[in-house]
Structure 1
Amino acid sequence: MDRPASPAPHSDVRLLALIMESETEARIATADRLAEAGFEVLEAWSAQSALLQIERHPMLRLVVVDADLSGSGTRFALTCEIARNRPDLAVVALSAGPAPSEGELPEEVRFAAKPLSPALAREALAQLSA
């Protein structure tokens, strides 16, 4: 489902981000944080819907993934699949559980504890806008 978002400050072009979160309240809160930072935000509630959104939106720049998504195999399976298939994307894995072990995530994937902080959302926008 696409959600309209506020434009990035001092910019006519908003970077496109996808939040993949199975819990509705957490998905909405994360989407709101990304929108407040200046992203245009798409939402996905399952691994299948996330992969479909990624395929449909070649201009996508950031994917925030629920690392604890049940039914996706191992804990970081979807995150690793996205990083492997779309190395052009910035990927953040969010989790309410423990941090990943060394080597469990690709080097370019950022891990953060849930919920996504406004500071991390702004930092991602700044890095992708540079």
Structure 2
Amino acid sequence: MACILLVEDNELIREMVVLYLTRSGFELTTAVDGIDALRMVQQVQPDLILLDMGLPKLNGWQTMQRLRLRSETAHIPVIALTAYSMAEDRQRALDAGCAAFIPKPIEFPLLVETIHALLQRA
């Protein structure tokens, strides 16, 4: 079973993603901001990270930069989950090192398909 770290500050979105992905057979751990995510990634060593880009304290762009600088986390595929849905936002996330970009509101079948595709590549 793949372990996914979900980094999302909105409680309702966090609960919906956890519920849907748990029912889809994934094991989830959550973090509420970038600082929490950097701590959790060391403890959990996830197979994949779902990262909201609009986080408090340490936003998704800053969190992504720190994940890519660490040799122990640089290889983990990251999917950007964000309300920033313009083409330049997608490109910015990919340039930051995200493997995929899923705009909010989240289309759950697309999310699951993307997770499976990235885990097969890893």
**What is the TM-score when the length of structure 1 is the normalising length?**
0.73
SS of equivalent residue, structure 1 residue 30: helix
Listed one character per residue, the Cα deviations across residues 53-87 of structure 1 (whole Å, up to 9, x for unaligned) are 100123x11100110113325x6221232244312
Equivalent residue for 1:96? Answer: 83
Of 38, 48, 68 in structure 1, the residue corresponding to residue 35 of structure 2 is 48
Pairing partner for 1:82 from 67, 76, 79: 67
Q: Which is greater in Rg?
A: 1
What is the aligned-residue identity percentage? 21
1:112 matched to which residue of 2? 102
Structural RMSD (CA): 2.3
Deviation per CA, 1:2-43: give whole Å up to 9, x if none.
xxxxxxxxxxxx100011111111111122222222210001
Q: Determine which structure has the larger helix proportion and give its number.
A: 2
TM-score with structure 2 setting the length: 0.78
Question: How many residues are paired up?
Answer: 115
Structure 2: where are the runs of 5+ without partners? none
Determine helix, strand or coil for the equivalent of 1:27.
Answer: helix
* Residue type at the aligned position of 2:111: A
Change in Cα spacing, 1:108 to 1:93, as seen in structure 2 (3 Å) is closer
